[in-house]
């Protein structure tokens, strides 16, 4: 198999159909930017979930009249658990102070009495503690006499996971849609190029070229189109990411406690090579009907 000749013929093809390929690559890049953007969003949501998951926390709210010994006993039991990093006792007054410090709610809240803030044990869990284990600890502590209520933030994590799963679904659907678009656009571009070059194909076939010989440069051209479009989209995304990263870190990042991250190198590679592969397939399929000479 003479790849030098294939490459030379593919180069000639690109040169001859340069404008057509330019239009196709620009359209495909837009599609790849969409799918890359969705993947970028999912990557950062994942990072946020991981960060929050890692900083797992349980708040154990105590009865108003809870005995000091009972509270100490609960604290000792909790501290003995291997998943627990730290247990902090927060009195009503401290809880009020912390709320007033952290709250950005408008209006004067200083008049709020300390009694409406129950005393609590703030339990810091080890990174990566499974959600089921957190729930188990919460349920066991809730049964103790001095405990009024336990907040494991399970609802929040369920909602976050729902959001993430919807994001992944959306990215997947977008990827599928973009994949089909890429197939169609590359297929049509190659079909147009083939229609314009059907004389060449006829000549080659009459001289004894096999279908593989005829197909090879077109497949190379399709691969280049797909990979180039994906590459261009990645460059655009990365440039956009660099421009926006500062703003994102200052606003959303500060709130969520994470720094914005770009796509994982494996995803970048998958997008690039996937684009090339789809391009190759699109070309191979679109040529079939022109090979019957």
What residues make contact with another protein under the rule CB under 8 A?
Answer: 1-2, 4-5, 16, 199-200, 202-210, 213, 293
| Nearest distance from C-beta of residue 23 to another protein, angstroms | 20
Which string of b and e fits 13-23 if b means at least 16 CB within 10 Å? bbeebeebbee
Element containing residue 269 per DSSP (H, E): helix 265-287
Q: If 0-12 CB within 10 Å is exposed, 13-18 middle and 19+ buried, where does residue 75 land? A: middle
Beta-strand pair 147-151/84-90 = unpaired
| Nearest distance from C-beta of residue 5 to another protein, angstroms | 5
Q: Considering beta carbons, is residue 16 or 70 the nearer one to another protein?
A: 16
How would DSSP label each residue in 15-73?
A: HHTHHHHHHHHHHHHHHHHHHHHHHHHHHHHHHHHHHHHHT-EEEEEEPTT--HHHHHH
Cβ atoms of 135 and 154 closer than 8 Å: yes
| Nearest distance from C-beta of residue 289 to another protein, angstroms | 15
Return d(Cα 86, Cα 78) in angstroms, integer. Answer: 9
């Amino acid at each position: 198999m003479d790849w030098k000749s294939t490459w030379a013929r593919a180069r000639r093809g690109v040169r001859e159909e340069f404008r057509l390929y330019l239009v196709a690559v620009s359209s495909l890049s837009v599609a790849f930017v969409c799918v890359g953007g969705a993947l970028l969003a999912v990557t950062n949501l994942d990072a946020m979930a991981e960060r929050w998951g890692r900083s797992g926390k349980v708040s154990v709210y105590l009865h108003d009249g809870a005995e000091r010994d009972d509270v100490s006993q609960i604290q000792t039991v909790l501290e003995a658990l291997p998943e627990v990093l730290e247990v902090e006792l927060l009195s009503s007054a401290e809880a009020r102070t912390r709320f007033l410090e952290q709250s950005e709610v408008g209006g004067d809240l200083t008049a709020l009495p300390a009694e409406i803030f129950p005393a609590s044990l703030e339990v810091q869990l080890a990174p990566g503690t499974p959600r089921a284990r957190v729930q188990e600890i919460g349920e066991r502590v809730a049964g103790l006499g001095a405990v009024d209520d336990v907040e494991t933030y399970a609802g929040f994590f369920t909602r976050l996971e729902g959001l993430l799963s919807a994001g992944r679904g959306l990215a997947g659907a977008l990827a599928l849609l973009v994949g089909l678009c890429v197939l169609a656009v590359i297929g049509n571009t190659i079909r147009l190029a083939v229609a314009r070059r059907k004389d060449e194909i006829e000549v080659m076939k009459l001289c004894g070229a096999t279908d593989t010989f005829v197909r090879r440069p077109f497949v190379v051209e399709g691969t280049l189109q797909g990979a180039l479009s994906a590459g261009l989209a990645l460059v655009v995304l990365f440039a956009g990411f660099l421009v926006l990263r500062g703003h994102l870190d200052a606003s959303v990042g500060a709130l969520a406690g994470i720094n914005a991250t770009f796509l994982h190198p494996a995803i970048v590679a998958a997008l690039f090579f996937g684009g090339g592969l789809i391009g190759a397939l699109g070309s191979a399929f679109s040529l079939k009907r022109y090979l019957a000479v």
